[in-house]
Amino acid sequence: MLHSEDLQRESCCSHHHEQDTHDHCHCSHSESASWKLYFPAAFSFLLLLLGLIADALAFPCFSQAYFRLFYYLLAYLPVGYPILRDALGEMRHKDFFNEFSLMGLATVGAFVIGEYPEAVGVALFYCIGELFQNHAVNRARGNIKALLDVRPGMARVLREGKYWELPPETVAVGEIIQLRAGEKAPLDAVMLSEASSFNTAALTGESRPLTIRRGERVLAGMLNEGSVIEMQVDKPFADTSLAKILDLLEHAASRKPRTELFIRKFARIYTPVVFALAVLITLLPMIFAEHYVFSEWFYRALVFLVLSCPCALVISIPLGYFGGIGLASRKGILVKGANFLEQLTQVHSIALDKTGTLTQGVFKVQEVEAAGDVPFVDWVAAVEAHSNHPVAKAVVEYCAPDPERFRVEDVREIAGQGLTARVNGCEVAVGNARLMHSLGVVYDAAIDERVETLVLAASEGVFAGYISIADSEKEDAQEAVEGMRRCGVERIVMLSGDRESIVRQCAQKLRVDEAYGELLPEDKLRHIEALKADGKKLAFVGDGINDAPALAASDLGIAMGGMGSDAAIEIADIVIQSDRPYKIVQAIRIARLTRSVVLQNIVFALSVKFLVLLLGALGLASMWMAVFADVGVALIAILNAVRILYSRASD
């Protein structure tokens, strides 16, 4: 019944893009018109309702056996034919005992003993349950096409004295390419221009912009945040870092484990047992009964088959997970399949990316330390207003300069060091330690030991102070880590592309068990494989393209969707739409509530079912009792499942 999630998990890599062979109740996974999905069930429901009314009012035409049989067959076929077709399809693959064969036997059995409405109702309920399930699932995850938004479509190549826009695959090693501000590098190349600032988050997760100078390498996928630059290609596209990420993602996705929900495992045991018991009920009395009447015991066996139909399970289990998915959606958590909710209850370890997951992913001023009484922050902001560097923007955001108070002249940018300018006639220098040393500015050597990004300032050659800038933790990051522990997560690990010192400082503050920094995508993937070695369920939480291979390789991938990359959102099994890490805790609670309700339904449905099955085998259960055991229990189970939508247990 629930093959679709398995196929969706595999479909995130191109060679696994295939159709779901079990197209139950014509519930297509494409984005076709919705009426095509619901028409078979609606048509059968309408005919069943009219038939029940006609039976109750004793319409003359319904007193004719052939007409009544034809009418209910017409109502049955739209929802029953897919079940019979799938049962035969499984039999061709030598799988004789599954929910399809049980449903088929039960409905055909109901027709044999003349309980036509029951046969239609059973098939209809099954189809409705499947429609609910399919409606809750993301139907088409596709392949890794989301990464195409990250991979530059064209490269500006210098040929015959002119720049031509060509596909990156056609650019040869040694050719010169041009990269403008705001563009992503299409290929790995060596910098020919003086210097430029790059956002490397797509590849390394590094929160700080990276200044790359002449002779240093630029990797495909890095975003140029400086001026127009020229580079010389040193690798073909197939060997670029971005292409390697694509390859890692594809192979990591293929290693994701396939799962099956309880109902299919249960049916594989339940179906042959029920079928064998029905045969025994028919034939065994032949040995010990004094007056054996075949038709009487055959009737009991058919009633037994009708009673055995697990409608309460077939409907309430998908609806339970549907309720969990609906509640999660209301909390801003997108769950891409019921099996992912089930897996979330089994998570033993959680690995988290730092930048954008536990931290804001943007620079903010953390501390201002003046060397004297001079209000140097205003000077720094006035000078930094002439720069587009992200660090400069953070300073300007912290202290917006007043152009009427501060007259800035002779601004000069020193690549990789900072800015110098005249502010109200005074010589001001703003930049890093290299700039201060080059200008001969003396300051406390202990400042250089700070792990944060520092903006140093000097006026007339005298050190004025520094501004500490860092990527701050999200407000609920600490609460999220504590909440995970309360939910029973035993191991919490931080994996980041940021500097080791920054990662360890953040991990210590949040009380994470283990922390590893300066990791490339393949390094994160290696850590994920090591964490999975103990055989316990591992979830990975990330937001960048560099996290996509780890998301794919983990048992459960969780993406931060608000600021996360399209690739991470595409490959993840669960998406936190608001970027709040505490939502992970809420997701775990919702998953556990859902499992609890589903288990309640299973125990209740099986208890009633087995009791009535026993009565049916003894000839003490009528068809009306069968209807109650089937429809009544299903209704109670459905009501129990629907209450998940209104639960506040996740708050």
Please give the single-letter amino acid code of residue 379.
W
**3-state class (DSSP) for residue 496:** coil
For residues 150 and 503, what is the distance between their CA atoms, to the nearest angstrom?
26
Ranges of H-type helices in 540-581:
548-553, 566-571
Residues identified as active-site: 353
Q: What pairing do the DSSP bridges indicate for beta strands 574-576 and 333-335?
A: antiparallel
* Residue (of 259, 233, 206) closest to 523 by Cα position: 206
Q: What pairing do the DSSP bridges indicate for beta strands 462-473 and 359-370?
A: antiparallel
* Residue (of 313, 306, 304) closest to 614 by Cα position: 304
For residue 509, the surrounding DSSP H or E stretch is helix 500-510
Helices 311-330 and 116-136, packing angle to 10 deg: 20
Q: What pairing do the DSSP bridges indicate for beta strands 574-576 and 453-459?
A: unpaired
DSSP 450-479: -SSEEEEEEETTEEEEEEEEEEEEPTTHHH
**Strands (DSSP E) along 169-298, which ranges?**
176-179, 189-191, 195-199, 210-213, 217-218, 223-224, 229-233
For 106, how many CA atoms within 13 A lie in the half-sphere containing its CB?
A: 34
In whole angstroms, how far apart are CA 14 and each of 184, 254, 493? 24, 10, 30
Name all contacts of 280-284 with Cβ < 8 Å and 24+ positions apart.
Answer: 281/617
Give the residue carrying structure tokens 């956002």.
199
Please enumerate in sequence order all residues whose Cβ is within 8 A of that of 219, keeping only pairs 6 or more positions apart, or say none. 185, 188, 200, 203, 240, 241, 242
For 108, how many CA atoms within 13 A lie in the half-sphere containing its CB?
A: 10
Q: Which two tokens stand for residue 202?
A: 């797509």
* Residue (of 218, 172, 167, 171) closest to 191 by Cα position: 218
